[in-house]
Structure 1
Amino acid sequence: MSRPRKKKLGSYPTLLVVFSITLALVVTGLFGLLLLHAHKLGEAVRGNLEVQVYLDRDLPETELLRLQQDLAGQPYVAEQNGRPQIHFVSKEEGARQLLQTTGEDFHNFLDDNPLRDAYVLNIRPEYTDTTHLRQLGRSLEQQRGVFEVQYPKSLYASINQNLARVSLLLLAFAAVLVLAVVILINNTIKLAMFSQRLLIRSMQLVGATRFFIRQPFIRRATWQGLASGLLAALVLLGLLQYAYLEVTQLRLLRDDYLLGALLLGVLGLGTAIGFFSSYWAVTKYLNVSLDELY
């Protein structure tokens, strides 16, 4: 009859620690991806907001060109592929759009077209809050050749208010989740270090310095945190690519810069928690009395 294998003194549950940290980091990263895409969705919504700049009647072509160039140089005008998002709508085109929308032709009871030529501007997301829009409207109305500036103030205010509320709620959940993950990983490493307490005391008894004792444990836990971060980043990338294949519209919200920052954050979080948790755990067992080790 074979004897049961005895657990070696100081045996460390490496796979369990790496698996636990990786799982916690994946959960954190998934919520980070949700925040990232929610942020890009908010920017997309704000980026579709338009401001109508109605012009004085019978402006010459040179004045229209000058005004377009002035508007194109403004910092609040959105760009796409390096081109300012400015669209000229003549009063004739406006009349056709009105006819398509309402089904009524005002030419039946009016001799002249009452509409005005206009420039339609797409505004950068960072300029779509109420304060910036009010300043923007006053600045545009002071331009030579501009008759009136219009945009749906109540709609813009409602969109900004709702986006701010959702962002605040998501950030609150993110803070709670990160705190829970930090505590979970910290406790996982502390439990793993519990199996090392007798080895730490043995090293103390043979005269090893505190730095010499800490070094191998901190190095191992740091590498485990780094490996867990790498595994979590790979899992997140795989899940994200699968989501892009299943829901192709999600690709419109992709931001490689923010995604890279998120993955580096996951990597750094795992490494930092591994380092500090092992440091605190080893220090604890260096300071406890012999009776408290059992």
Structure 2
Amino acid sequence: MARNIKHIKKKKLGNYPHLMVVFSISLALFVIGLFGLLLIHASKLSDKVKESIEMQVYLDKNLTDTQLTRLQKTFTAKDYVAQQNDTAQVRFISKEEGAKAFLDETGEDFMEFLGDNPLRDAYVLRIDADHSSSPELKSIKLDLESVNGVYEVQYVESLIESINSNIEKISVLLLAFAGILILVVIILINNTVKLALFSQRFLIRSMQLVGATSYFIQRPFLNRAALQGMISGVVASMLLFALMQYAYHEVEELKLLRNDEQTYLLMGALVLIGIVIGFLSSYRAVRKYLGLSLDELY
């Protein structure tokens, strides 16, 4: 019987719900991480869409091979041309290839009744995602048209404007939702820590009564909160990593949108967020209980 009474007293003064705190913070950080992954993949998808933008550069007729080579080198050196595996995304389409493609698509051979091929040799340039805004594309078009040997530059302007407009709207919505989500998660973690420390209020009061300084009382709680935040961040990161691997295994196309560098930065941020929020929440809660009278603790 005495043991039971001792156990109950110990629970009142010193019991702290470690697993509940770690689980709650881990779940909250996992939600943030999940949305962070969504933003990373959405950003990568946006870049992929933007990098699919192409400009058709039609050339003057009767250019020599030397002139064609010079033009290709000129286009390759442009900083607004997309790179893939350190290779500029520039390809040449001869007028014969253009005529064959037209025949394959329409089944009509205009060579039969025209007697000549009216098409022009062309270079197709894929534009880098960082230069895909409508004003920059117009500037790029003017720059290409100023090159000696270029007859005309074309791209689907209305489609590009529609893509940029939709991407901008989606980005604003995602960022707004991310801000709300982060605020909710911070409040959730803060309330979790405060609730956990509520069970420690009499222990804090007891330490005050025996003459312990505020720093001495706060230090173990703050250290524990930071440790729990770090553990929660690691757990959330491990769950995210496992979820990612499963998703990549089930949907192969998702691998095209992966960005390992940003993903690892996100995981590191989760650990840091867990430590900072846990530390600050614990600091505020302990400071609150240090300032309460005995009657207010009940």
Letter of the aligned partner of 1:53 in structure 2?
Answer: V
Which residue is equivalent to 1:80? 84
Which residue is equivalent to 1:282? 286
Distance in 2, Cα, partners of 1:267 & 1:100: 56
Which runs of structure 2 are paired with 1:50-129 in the superposition (5 Å)? 50-129=54-133
Which residue is equivalent to 2:30? 26
> Of 214, 234, 237, which residue of structure 2 is paired with 1:230?
234
Which residue is equivalent to 2:196? 192
Q: Which runs of 5+ in 1 are unaligned?
A: none
Q: Which runs of 5+ in 2 are unaligned?
A: none
Q: Cα distance, 1:188 vs. partner? A: 0.1
Which residue is equivalent to 2:177? 173
Q: Cα distance, 1:170 vs. partner? A: 1.1
Once superposed, which parts of structure 1, at least 4 consecutive aligned residues long, lie more than 4 Å away?
A: 1-5
Cα pair 2:12 2:199 within 8 Å, conserved: no
| Number of equivalenced pairs | 294
Distance in 2, Cα, partners of 1:58 & 1:36: 47
Residues 1:159 and 2:172 aligned together:
no
Q: Cα distance, 1:180 vs. partner? A: 0.5
Distance in 2, Cα, partners of 1:289 & 1:8: 18
Distance in 1, Cα, partners of 2:15 & 2:102: 78
Q: Cα distance, 1:8 vs. partner? A: 4.3
Distance in 2, Cα, partners of 1:110 & 1:262: 61
Letter of the aligned partner of 1:79 in structure 2?
Answer: Q
Q: Cα distance, 1:3 vs. partner? A: 4.5
Q: Cα distance, 1:46 vs. partner? A: 1.0
RMSD: 1.3
Which residue is equivalent to 1:242? 246
**Structure 2 SS opposite 1:16:** helix
**Structure 2 SS opposite 1:88:** strand
Distance in 2, Cα, partners of 1:167 & 1:35: 9
Work out the percentage of aligned pairs sharing the same amino acid.
56
Q: Cα distance, 1:27 vs. partner? A: 1.2
Distance in 2, Cα, partners of 1:207 & 1:144: 86
Distance in 1, Cα, partners of 2:164 & 2:268: 30
Residues 1:208 and 2:246 aligned together:
no
TM superposition score normalised by structure 1: 0.97
Distance in 1, Cα, partners of 2:14 & 2:295: 18
